Amino acid sequence: MRIFLDAATKQISAEIIEVLPDPIALQLGKIKNLQSFTGKVFRYDLGYRFKGGSIISAGKTTGEIRPGPAPMSDLLMGKLQNPNLKGSSPKDPLMLITESCGWSQEWYIDGEGGLTIHSYMSCSYNFYQDMMWSISDDFGGGGGGGEYYYEYGSGGSGSTGPVNPAVPEPSNLPMEDAKPVDPKKMMDCFSLITTPNAAFTVRVLVLEPFAGTSFNVGPNSFGHVAIQLSKTGNGQTITQTMGLYPTGTGIDKLESRGQILDNGDMRYELSATYAVTGETFGKLINYISGERKDYHFTDFNCASYVYQAGQAAGIPIPNPITPVGISGPGGAGFADTPAGMAAALREQKFKNPAMDLNQGGGTIGPSKGPCK
């Protein structure tokens, strides 16, 4: 709850505040106090109707959140912020600052079936001085844009901001308690089918963090991507489903030696099926049977593993890279994520309607398991 003096009505007013730390910044230990807070702040009236909010990066407001659809972009060019502004010396010419703002949208359906749309604005600034252009990412710093600023947790206002959060244990990953397996022994099983006209299929299985949204964190933690190989011949089918996981526990889950777990009986929301040749299947087997992979929660995770397996074999599994974190200085970066893989598969289906993409979800059967 935030209690404040309304500047327009001069009356004491109140609003409900929701503070959502950025999960990546939080788990990396970058949020130590209000000055280093990175995340989103949502504001509601006392009837819990969404009013707006702000995007915070390292304690600074870097963007605005507002309800409902918004223009996708708002380009403000040629805006002289201060006609008396000079450069580093009196001989420098006037400095021209231009502001470029863009809107993007996220939406989801809540547990009660209600549709919520959030629109996010972030801005960047170009400074023109002494015949040179430069770009600054200091989004909320002064001059330029300061049209919207939301103070939170600033003592005298009577508002309540985020307390200093302890770094939480990384969320449990889907099926992280599954059985570790030797991927080479899993691949050895395919040699049991010797027919020359065998059929080969590869499936990419995605459990989204928050089904049907672009969120990288949700009820299913960070989600998961697994790869399934099947070979049919001699009147039988052998299927193996696997995924990459960390070996570390606690905070070491974020970066540790990797391991392959048996993802048989996995629940999924999307699955893409690729029919491949025996030669392609062999290349995939070689990749999976090869050198043990290290795990990093943003640089090389389960989604990265499946994508790189496809690259090694020449299978058109799409790139799952997607923006992560909060926009602003030191903020938004990119990572391979399960949500990114889901979005990439849907885009691949849009471009190729004949693609075999199951968006109905389900649960796969068990893997055959290792063969000695």
Q: Could you report the per-residue pLDDT of 63-88, keeping only the tens digit for each?
A: 777 775 443 333 333 333 343 333 33
* For range 115-132, the mean pLDDT: 49
pLDDT at 339 > cutoff 50: yes
Q: Where are the domains of the chain?
A: 2-157, 183-363
74: which DSSP letter?
A: E
Note the pLDDT of residue 218: 81
pLDDT band at residue 334 under the 50/70/90 scheme: confident
Q: Decide: residue 328, CB within 10 A, 0-12 exposed, 13-18 middle, 19+ buried.
A: buried
Q: Decide: residue 227, CB within 10 A, 0-12 exposed, 13-18 middle, 19+ buried.
A: buried
Which residues have CB under 8 Å from 177's CB, separation 6+? none
* DSSP for 84-148, written as a single string: T---SSTTSPPPEEEEEEEEEEEEEE-TTS-EEEEEEEEEEEEEEETTEEEEE--TTSSSS--S-
Strands (E), 327-368: 333-336, 356-358, 362-363
- The CA distance from 202 to 187, in Å, is 13
pLDDT digits (tens, 9 = 90+) for 179-229: 999 999 999 999 999 998 999 999 999 999 888 877 888 888 889 999 999
Q: What is the pTM of this model?
A: 0.61
Residue 331: alpha-carbon gap to chain centroid: 13
Which residues have CB under 8 Å from 344's CB, separation 6+? 318, 319, 320
Which residues have CB under 8 Å from 188's CB, separation 6+? 370, 371, 372
Which residues have CB under 8 Å from 7's CB, separation 6+? none
Note the pLDDT of residue 5: 82
The better pLDDT of the pair 268, 293 is held by: 268
- The CA distance from 347 to 129, in Å, is 42
Strands (E), 180-320: 199-207, 224-233, 236-246, 255-262, 267-268, 270-276, 294-296
